[in-house]
Chains A and B, each alone.
Chain A
Amino acid sequence: MSMEQLIEKYFRPGRLPHIWCPGCANGIITGALVKAIDRVGLEKDNTAVVAGIGCSSRASGYLDFNTVHSAHGRALPFATGIKLAAPQMAVIVITGDGDAAAIGGNHFIHAARRNIDLTVLLYNNSTYGMTGGQYSPLTPTNSKAATAPYGTVDRPFDLAALARGAGATFVARGSAFHAPMLADLIASGIRHKGFSLIEAVASCPISYGRQNKLGDAPAMLKWQRDHALPADAYEKLSDAQKADKFPIGVLYQADAPEYTEEYAKIIARAQKGGL
């Protein structure tokens, strides 16, 4: 299906143009999402897209599903409630690095721990774009930000490692530059039964890029091209070589009991009268 056909089918009429800045990679990532949804064949009526607050989360309003633009950091509790109430629905979470890793960090690790069948697509643009470019938990050390005029001291999360440590059973990273691969990763995440994280490396040329002199939108996408490595190639690098690169692809996958299926067993036991 062409992008025009995908827009026709999965975007809400009259909701575009979007609010994102010129050169923002969020459109590429949202495009990869609808490609993945189409490939998996999700029914629109049977799919919920739940977002938090921030630039990426605005995507929820553009997409023609059962959609929630929730509160800052709270997409995962809302999504968990929808999935528990309607386990037959596919529930996709759209979030950003500030939304998921800072204010929503507690929800993030616990949703991963439960291994509840949610697909989390995290747009990582390394900044709080909506509020004007303050530093987030995924901003690299020594970056400039609206709240770090002297550069950041904070060390960023390795979000993929955090998700795996917390119990996620599908962890992947893609980038806007590698858009076809990103669509593959999202489709795999949707098909995976359990908690899936797909971190999508985004780019914010207007705020984060400008503050850190990273060039224009194409330059920031080329940076992704030049610094991303397939996970197996990345693993062969020395620590010094790794410092400048990031792995993409499926980083971890495992089978584990899924929360709503396990809770269905609790209901069956309780209804038989057994503790």
Chain B
Amino acid sequence: MSKTLLMQGNKAVAEGAVAAGADFFGGYPITPSTEIAEELSALLPTIGGTFIQMEDEIAGIGVALGASLAGRKVMTATSGPGFSLKQELIGYAALAEIPIVIVNVQRVGPSTGQPTAPSQGDVMQARWGTHGDHPIIALTPSSVPECFRLTVRAYELSERYRTPVILLMDEIVGHMREKVQLPPYASIPRPERKKPLVPPQEYRAYFGAQDDLVPPMAAFGSGYRWHVTGLVHDEYGFPDSSGKATKELLDRLFAKINDHLDDIVETEEYRLEDAECAFVAYGGTARTAYAAVDMAREEGIKAGLLRPITIWPLAEKQIKDLGGRVNHIIVAEMNRGQYVLEVERAVAGLCPVTLCAKYNNEAIAPAELLAALQKTKRHAGGA
């Protein structure tokens, strides 16, 4: 039987992790994500899982990656400054193809910034924070029920594509309390990583040329002995410094994500059927955009919303399509303008793209978005 509860977003992440079969958390306390660690320190041992608070943020992700190699479903959670520290091993997880869910409940930055105030300033860091070219998947929940659902989804994607997945939250969603209906966890399919079908002596941990480009992954201790490295490696995992190996590995890492965008990229459309202008908004800011769309409609302005749920990889097709359907796009975000640059790139001049940015520790109010919309309408009318 499902249960209906009043729950905080961070707590819903912890519940989602357990529902998805996660059985390992490593982390370090940091506002505004700490409740995730607190909840899992209580929940995980009850299901035979493991919680450990490490000495720092890097150790928090490192211990989780070690556990993932031994077959656990793992999570680490943090906020801005900790996310910066974890970047080293996010790159390791991407290159060595180790599944992990990394939660970042964003706060105001740079540096210590404003620990308890909301921001969406880590959008580009989630994409490009670690060094070198690498693919990444990042999901952004807009509500407490979605914190639960997307945590489960993050495990599906992480295990299926053998890749780190970032759950990019913000303080609004992390600390908000909402009604959430939790299904019985037994009814939730538990994502399982692909296991090798060949005998151990034939196992190639990074042979991804077959079917979906995702190599099967054996757990340490299961009888398949293999080598894991952050160096560019061959199909067995051993260092290979040739240009050919470097290019082939990077091309496969990108292709295993880019060939499956239909599965990975999720967006939501709100009142876009006949819309003449549209907001693009994500995470906590999307909640404001729903209200602004409704207010605009009451004034007779045909507004709508495109909400990227998968924020990385970019919903390029959907955004470009939107650019061809509406006269104007407004990107709303709690930073000085990060995602707007990507939206502009995808729209490629099909319609004007403007920014409604806010970065004064406060969420964007619906009236502010409406005013931004009215202003663009006036400009359009006067032209």
Contacts and interface: CB of A to CB of B under 8 A. Distances in A.
Q: Do A and B come from one complex?
A: yes
Interface in B119-169: none
Interface string B31-68: 00000000000100110111010111011111111111
Interface of A: 12, 15, 44-46, 48, 50, 60-61, 64-71, 74, 76-86, 88-89, 106-107, 109-110, 263, 266-267, 269-271, 273
Given A70-B92, A106-B56, A271-B46, A80 B225 contact: no
Most buried by B among A60, A80, A88: A80
Interface string B55-87: 110111111111111111010000000000000
A74 B50 contact: no
B63 A60 contact: no
Band of interface residues on B? 35 or more
Given A77-B62, A271-B48, 16 more contacts: A12-B227, A46-B221, A48-B70, A60-B227, A65-B225, A69-B239, A80-B52, A81-B65, A85-B67, A85-B72, A110-B54, A110-B59, A263-B50, A263-B52, A267-B50, A270-B42
B65 A78 contact: yes
Q: What 10 pairs between A and B have smallest CB-CB spacing?
A: A81-B66, A77-B62, A270-B45, A85-B70, A78-B66, A81-B67, A85-B67, A110-B55, A69-B229, A81-B63
Nearest to A75: B62
B350 interface: no
Secondary structure of the A contact surface, majority rule: helix
Contacts of B54: 77, 80, 110
Interface string B238-251: 11000000000000
Given A77-B62, A81-B26, A86-B220, A69 B68 contact: no
Given A71-B89, A270-B45, A82 B59 contact: no
A249 to B, nearest CB: 30
A85 B71 contact: yes
A107 B26 CA distance: 14
Nearest to B200: A45
Interface of B: 24, 26, 42, 45-46, 48-50, 52, 54-56, 58-72, 74, 88-89, 92, 220-223, 225-231, 238-239
A12 B236 CA distance: 12
Nearest to A266: B45
Given A46-B221, A67-B225, A270-B46, A82 B230 contact: no
A271 to B, nearest CB: 6
Contact of B66 (A45, A85, A271): A85
Contacts of B70: 48, 81-82, 85-86, 89
